[in-house]
Amino acid sequence: MAQIFESQVDMVEKVVTEARERGEVTVADAHEAARSVVAQLEGQVLFAKLYNNTQRLDALWTNCLALLGATAPAR
């Protein structure tokens, strides 16, 4: 089970590292930031399942951006 989460962290870490290189996020440690994003995602999914309410996922993107010190891209 841990290997599944570590694989997710590795994928997210690559994206966070690229974003940091472009100056789009302000994290010091891309790996730990990726762990936080995965934990946020998994936790929100757990709450959505627990309350049988997918609206619990509405704040996910905004919260992940905040964890990374980023802002939402312009539309």
Q: What is the distance between the alpha carbons of residues 65 and 30, in angstroms, rounded to a whole number?
A: 13
Q: What is the pLDDT of residue 7?
A: 96
The tens digit of pLDDT for each residue in 39-70 reads: 999 999 999 999 999 998 999 999 999 999 99
Q: What is the distance between the alpha carbons of residues 37 and 52, in angstroms, rounded to a whole number?
A: 22
The tens digit of pLDDT for each residue in 7-20 reads: 999 999 999 999 99
pLDDT-derived band at 30 (thresholds 50, 70, 90) equals very high
pTM for this one?
Answer: 0.88
